[in-house]
Each structure stands twice: as C-alpha cells, then as structure tokens.
Amino acid sequence: MSIKINSICFNHDGDPATGSLHCRVDGKTPIPPRFESEDGKLAPVGVFVPSALGPNITIEIGVDNTAPTPINLIVTAKETSQPPLFGNLAFPGIMLSARSSTVLNLNVPSAHFASPALANQAMRLLQSFDWYYQEAGSAIKQKITSTGQTVYLLPALPFEPWLGDSETYSESEMNYVWTSVLDICCSACDDYAAAHAGVRPNTFAQHLEALTEELNTCGRFRYDTRHGACFYAVPAGNENGIKLQKYIHDRNYTTPSRLNCSDCATIVATEALALGVPAGIGHIHNPVNPPNGFACNPIISIGGNAWAPPFAGSFSYHEVTVDGGASVQNTPVFDACLKIDAGTNPGLMGPAVKIEQLPLGIPFAETALDNVNVPVGVPYANMFYRERLVADGEDCNFDAVNAKEVGGLSMENTLRSIYDSDKDKDPYWHLLRRYGVTENPLPLAMHNLNKEASSGFLAELGSTSCLTLEESESHAIYDVTYAGEPFQIELIFAPGREETLMVIASKLAGVTNPEIKRLALDFTCLAFGIDHTFWLFVIENVVVQASSEGADVEPISRHVAETLAVQ
C-alpha cells in the first residue's frame, strides 16, 4: 500500500469551538494534540463540549505517498460506529508527489454533536473510521486503514482548576482534563443510567448524584474510623487541594484504601468540575466557642455496613460536596462519605428501625439556627441533612456562605498555595490557637533538609519493607513495615520556618477525629496525636505524620526523628 495516514488531529490549541480540549491521561502521561501513527496504528483521543462547539470541527490528517510516482488522489473515510459524530469524510483532492507527505484539512459540520441524545451528557464513545483513497478518474476505492477514536463528551466547559480555554499546548501542564478522571465520571453516568431505566444524568444535580454514588459504592475506599485523617485532600485555607494522582492510583487496589470526609467531598467536587458541573466543598463545624466539634447520630460510613456514631461520638468537623458555590441553609448536599438514617428516629441506635440513605441533593438544614432540634424518640419526618446527621441539641452549621474551592491537583501545587505570602494565613492561626499555639514555636535557626535526608532511613528498611505510595519534589508517603508492624509515614519538606508551621496547620485541618491533642514529646518542639496510633510532629523543616491501624507509632516515630536529626 503506497498511501498511508501518519497522523490525525482534531485539537487546535484546545479551542472548544473547533475541536477537542487539551487533555492528558493523568499526572504522568500527556496526550499530544496530534496523534502520530505507532506500528501502523492510530488511536486518537478527544474531549469535546457539544454546547461550546461552533458550526464546524476541523480535522487534519497527515498523508504519506511511499510510491516512486506522484498520485492524484482523494482521501475519504466512512464512519462505522454509532451514534454518528463526524459523519463520512471526503477531503479535497490533491496531487501528492512521489515519496512525499502532506497535511489535509477538512471542516466537518458539528451537527451530530448537537443531537438531543447527546445534550448535557458525560459520555465516553468509541468511534471508528474506515479510510480509503481513490485515484483521480478511477471509481475504485482502496482501503488504507481503520482507526478507532475515543471521544469524551462533557455537559459543559470544565471549571477551575481544570483548564478549558484555548491556549498553546504544553506537555507539562497538569491542569488539562485527565481522561482517567473522565473514565470514572463516564462510568458513574453509565451506572446511573442502568439504575434509571436507561436515562442518563442530564442536569448538574444528577451528575453530582452519579459521582457521589459511584465513589460511595465502588468498593475501593473505606472510612478512616480510627483517625479521620485526610489521604487525598489537602486543606489550604479556603480551598482544598487534592493528591489526584494518588487517588487514581489507589482505585486500582483490591484492598480498600482509607479516606475521610474531606477526601470524599474534594474527590466528587474535582470530578464534577472536570465535567463542567459547578460544585464546591461545604465545611460544617460547631460555630460556638470553644469549637469542640459536634456529636452525631449513628451513620454508616463509606466502606462499612454497621450503624455507629463516628469516633467517640463526634466529628471535629465534616465536609460535603455542595451543588454550586454556596453553602447556606437550602444548599443541596451530596455526601459520598456516609449514609444517614431516613427513618423517623435518626437519633436512635440501630439497626432495627434504621433506613439507610446516601445524601444525594438533600437540603442542608431545616432552620438557619445553629442548634439542632430533633429530640430522640420523637418521630421526625422531614428530610434535612443536618437534622439527620447531627445529634439533638448540638450546635452545627456551615462555616461560611461561600463553599470552599478545589485548589491544586497535586501536593506540590497545593503546597505552593499554602506557602503563598499573598494568601490570608488567619485560618491557619485560628486553628493553631485551638491547640494553644499562639506564636511560632519552631527554632529560629533550623536546618533546611531536603528529601535526601530520609534516604538513610529508607535504605535501612530496604525495598521489601518500604513501599513508596507517592513521591514528589518535597513530599513522600511510604507504607512501612517496622518491627513486624505496618505503618504509613508521610514526610513534607517545607522551605522554611513559617512554611513548616503552616503545613502542620494544614494537616491538623484535615483530621476529623476530635480526640487529636497537642503532645509533649522529648524529640520535637511541636507534636500532635491521637492515642498511640497517630502522631504529627516536626523535625527541623520536616513535617512527619506517622499512623497505623493499631500498632504503637512511637518506636518508628523516634527512629524517623533520629534519622532526620543527624543530617
């Protein structure tokens, strides 16, 4: 075959009006705008927003003539998949010189993308073409190849932190929409359709419902019932960053990974924003000083099946995904983290009279007052999230009118936000003062250690007892076996004294167990912990988090501290 197609492109600076948005597989793997042939195969990927498309989509193909003679030809393509998206293609005729290449352009009407069946949809379609060429004056079409394209459709243009505007492509840009995230979203919408007689999500609220249910029921996650610590979300003032690559990675585990409410709220909001669905993170707390959290009714936490109040009966705070950017009384709440009791006595212990319900758009509160008034044993029929989650007589409300936003899509980006001197640090200090920290207790003179400082500790453990879960320039998480017990060790190397304290505050902001307390340890000037299984402390400029699901963290914490201190 003398005619070959060497490339296909329907991405033109990520312009949503003429083709695909810029995208990438995940935080590690980019997706170039032009798809080159590999081993004679072409498998393009495109992310389209039908509501943003103009009248035409521009398709470019690269064509090779390997013959020793010129050929006057027309290239055509027959769309062989359903539903039709691009239609059959016929490129302008061209005289292609011997042993040469060219690029052909064709404006294809976008009418198929405007089909009512595709409107407001999050959908993944496998689309295919059979390609032919025909020499001038000949009625014979000769097949060149077949190609399969993966096409993602979004209900609307993505919201920040995702990028959906036209710009010159950059392989290193992390905020292009990730197809690994879209795969999760589209599967969630498929599941929703299967449960609703084939009707797919068509409104923003329905998309949030699908994403919330998918996370809660996927079987890949379970609530951290011991500590309530963040594993994916990174609190940073009025926003939550997210360790998105870790989330994508952990979905491949068969053993469920731990998370908390901030993780669930941030994950669902991040996925929704990728689809162009406006979503925020509602922060629920006790507004009455001193802020001791709030007692809860029995719940079923994600990954569990038993009714029980959290921890010793309380949350220090709770976060949910909200529909839009507001967190006020009537805001619809979506909570992948837990199921509430939809029966007439949510305050009673179960399970005999319990009716489990995942919060999928339930209005937040019955009243604007802080105090919950649902007496135990008195039948309650109204469906309000707070009144069913929070125990009678407790004070509980949203922290602010504006919901928290999703910030950086990686730990490094979120750390930059935490360190940003232009951003308000009052939320960090407000939290630290709860633990008696009124000024920075860290030494004025401190070594600035980098990640190499942990190499001795890791080398001593060896590869058989230390698994790297996540690693970046100034951050690492390890699953460690020490003295025969499993632990998780997180290290964050901050650039200075003030930044180190802000990282500690960020970590404290992501712990929902109200039992966390400031500790007096002889090897550090600042430490916090929950019993003997969760310690958060500082060595020089390094924030260390050591946790387990039952084993004593003191020996490994001391070992890490000693290793870092001798650098």
Which DSSP letter does residue 117 get? G
Pairing of the two strands 23-24 and 177-178: parallel
Name the token pair of 369.
């007052």
Nearest in space to 334 (alpha carbons), one of 160, 438, 216, 249:
216
Nearest in space to 125 (alpha carbons), one of 77, 92, 86, 156:
86
How much is the pLDDT for 262? 98
Interatomic CA distance for residues 365 and 369, integer angstroms: 9
Name the token pair of 362.
């339930």
Query: What element of type H or E holds 428?
Result: helix 426-434
How much is the pLDDT for 461? 67
How much is the pLDDT for 553? 96
Interatomic CA distance for residues 172 and 184, integer angstroms: 23
**Tokens 């001193």 sit at which residue?**
290
Query: What element of type H or E holds 405?
Result: strand 405-406
Interatomic CA distance for residues 262 and 7, integer angstroms: 43
Interatomic CA distance for residues 160 and 181, integer angstroms: 15
CA distances (Å), origin 218, targets 215, 246, 251, 344, 419:
6, 16, 9, 29, 35
Query: Which domains are delineated in the chain?
Result: 3-154 (2.60.40.1710), 180-406 (no CATH), 438-565 (3.40.1000)
Contact (CB, 8 A) for 164 and 158: yes
Nearest in space to 364 (alpha carbons), one of 343, 381, 386, 380:
386
CA distances (Å), origin 124, targets 89, 130, 183, 460, 487:
22, 20, 7, 47, 39
Mean pLDDT per 10-residue interval, the chain, length 567 residues: 92 97 97 88 94 97 95 96 94 95 96 92 96 91 94 98 96 98 99 97 98 98 97 96 96 94 99 98 93 94 96 95 96 98 93 92 98 95 98 97 96 95 90 94 88 72 76 90 92 96 97 96 96 96 96 94 80
How much is the pLDDT for 316? 96
Mean pLDDT of the chain: 94
Tell me: the pLDDT tens digits for 472-509? 889 999 999 998 999 999 999 999 999 999 999 999 99
Q: The pTM is what? A: 0.96
How much is the pLDDT for 1? 67
How much is the pLDDT for 149? 94
